[in-house]
Structure 1
């Protein structure tokens, strides 16, 4: 079974692309999605967050939401808003946010490779979020939210993508966020075969974002295989929708921390305890760390620059040497008493896209007592953790820009005319 393969993508008809393409389902609240989709009947948010078309009191996980999603998806197909390609293809997908550009390939990735850890994970998943994605896939019999994968940059693949992207795009949409989403269809069979063969030679792919979507795809595949006496491995459910980028084009932002209280310490006592493991200097400006092992701390209206003592960094442990681990192991857990950041309500996480002013705002408002700014985790560190078979602490990476929903989807079964 190939690591990836082409698929007959379901895409917006040319005159509907701007109307369809929408932010991914998990970056907007229901109220934000309702507002963004207002007056946009073909926005993919009507599929990915169908609660926006139901009473505001509706639980996003109610059965009616998945039924509405199926109804809206079916209408987009019936009205020709979404059209399926006639043959299995790859798609070059480019994201541009400001000066940053990354170019990858939309493909169907092997569930077997995922189950065998050849497509490597670096995060735990939560059952409730997995269940939600399973129900969404089964309701639509389609995968509409791509998993964001990474491959180690390869000159052959990168060259093909660059060559395809020299031609006029098949879709070019500027999202409300300002991010440009551009798609080219790879129609040349020789290029398609070469891409498949080169990926088959790769040791591994890495999940950057979409752990719940990939885990859900694995569960759907297992369930459908069990129910299919004629299973042969070629069915669409054996693969999941993905967009795969080279590792050297990734843009990872900081993922910062805020904590509600000082665990019974006053400001001076906390500073004294912090100084046992970190060099501490008061800063005149907000601290955006410039290297691994350094942190910013916003406390009682002042910024501090922290640098962990070198001897506390376990260089040969790919998880323990991460900045998120160092801060947790030497400050957040021992001083602030938070041992399980996945479940402790006293800690929250702020994506770097919001800027350091968001940290100041949440502390100055009294909602939080202290904030920490982080140096972004590197792709090399992420891959080292995944290669070691371990997982990263929660909220270790914040990838930008985000993939859009509705650009290209994968149907899991053929649809009869009029469905």
Structure 2
């Protein structure tokens, strides 16, 4: 059962929404970030970069308090307005032939604790606590957790009917993505969607494991402080964007390693031969075509690596995952990389042209060897989550990447 909650969103006015909505802070180069802050006074980036107003870098609790102050200023200046009714929010992104159509709503921390909201990544306690403290101070949630669910004809039908009405927002951003948002405040439609989601077995976190974990931690802290806790307080929910699994786009990360762990090229290839049938593909860019099949770039040449299945045991959903196979057969035993998060000898790349980028980085001498994989599927993600297992870091690059500041959930 999936619980969804309507809420009174804080939203930009229609005339300013295109200026307010921003990509994730990490996606901006320093030069681009400065340009936005210099020339767009309405950008949500002003809220999450509050020190800009004073030409000062701020961090920690000082930054959190200033974020809250900048948010209040956006409300005072009527850049943001609060909706009068509890609503759900249908939001669509379009670029070329790719469309994402999903729902902004509140999702339950109880569902998260009861594992009806499924995870496939580990979280770091330090980051959980930091973001929980952030949420407690700023008192709003502006970055939704991206979740996916099995395609459902009833839900799809309700959303399709909603899109026949006029949208509240329609704007296009510089990356050529068209954004459209509809407010669903009709009680009958909200109830119909809630009943339809109650028949959905589970929601799966696609992107936002730390945000959901931090929201859960915040709720536990708030409950302890509230002697009149009822379970209906805003802190019992966090904002999510729910998207049918057929619309999720999953891309691969490649892996680049700085050295061969004191092995010569020949010694390294001989060690690989234990687990792989190796074929030299020359210097033309080469990508793998199926599961358990990898591309490797080494010393100016591409190689195809085919897993020898008779010498590798599949024991569970995790052992069948290509990122785990690469870790257990090459990265850990041969290249000596045991901590994929902290070892500075390994880096990750993604993107449409990541094989070319990987080749360039290795040719420049920044890395010794690189590996490309096929993308992991949504079925694999669900199998990992259902089994309570955890993927290796940087197993998936998932789209859509959502804007901040379109809808804000107050805590």
Question: TM-score with structure 1 length normalisation?
Answer: 0.92
TM-aligned CA deviation for residue 223 of structure 1: 1.2
The answer on whether the counterparts of 2:100 and 2:400 sit within 8 Å (CA) in structure 1 is no
The answer on whether the counterparts of 1:22 and 1:175 sit within 8 Å (CA) in structure 2 is no
The answer on whether the counterparts of 1:170 and 1:183 sit within 8 Å (CA) in structure 2 is yes
TM-aligned CA deviation for residue 129 of structure 1: 2.4
| Counterpart position of 1:415 | none
TM-aligned CA deviation for residue 52 of structure 1: 4.6
The answer on whether the counterparts of 1:273 and 1:335 sit within 8 Å (CA) in structure 2 is yes
Aligned residue runs from structure 1 range 23-34, under 5 A: 23-28=23-28, 32-34=32-34
Structure 1 distance, partners of 2:35, 2:357, is 22
The answer on whether the counterparts of 2:92 and 2:102 sit within 8 Å (CA) in structure 1 is yes
Question: TM-score with structure 2 length normalisation?
Answer: 0.94
269, 272, 275: which one pairs with 1:271? Answer: 269
Report SS of the residue matched to 2:110: helix
Structure 2 distance, partners of 1:323, 1:2, is 30
- What is the aligned length? 410
| Counterpart position of 1:251 | 249
| 1:239-279 CA-partner distances (Å, limit 9, x unpaired) | 00000111111100111111111101122222222222122
1:273–1:98 CA distance, 2 compared to 1 (3 A): farther
Moved more, 334-343 or 26-35: 26-35
Report SS of the residue matched to 1:241: strand
126, 148, 155: which one pairs with 1:128? Answer: 126
1:267–1:350 CA distance, 2 compared to 1 (3 A): same
1:75–1:187 CA distance, 2 compared to 1 (3 A): same
The answer on whether the counterparts of 2:145 and 2:240 sit within 8 Å (CA) in structure 1 is yes
Report SS of the residue matched to 1:150: strand
1:312–1:84 CA distance, 2 compared to 1 (3 A): farther
TM-aligned CA deviation for residue 31 of structure 1: 6.0
Q: Is 1:4 the equivalent of 2:43?
A: no
TM-aligned CA deviation for residue 181 of structure 1: 2.6
| 1:91-115 CA-partner distances (Å, limit 9, x unpaired) | 1111224322121111100011001
Structure 1 distance, partners of 2:211, 2:29, is 18
Structure 1 distance, partners of 2:381, 2:29, is 28
Gaps of 5+ in 2: none
Moved more, 86-95 or 319-328: 86-95
The answer on whether the counterparts of 2:13 and 2:80 sit within 8 Å (CA) in structure 1 is yes
The answer on whether the counterparts of 2:129 and 2:217 sit within 8 Å (CA) in structure 1 is no
Aligned residue runs from structure 1 range 293-312, under 5 A: 293-312=292-311
Structure 2 distance, partners of 1:192, 1:101, is 23
CA-atom RMSD, angstroms? 2.0
Report SS of the residue matched to 2:166: coil
TM-aligned CA deviation for residue 138 of structure 1: 1.8
Q: Is 1:63 the equivalent of 2:61?
A: yes
Provide runs of 4+ in structure 1 moved above 6 Å: none
Aligned residue runs from structure 1 range 10-21, under 5 A: 10-21=10-21
Report SS of the residue matched to 1:38: helix
| Counterpart position of 2:80 | 82
150, 153, 163: which one pairs with 2:151? Answer: 153
Report SS of the residue matched to 1:337: coil
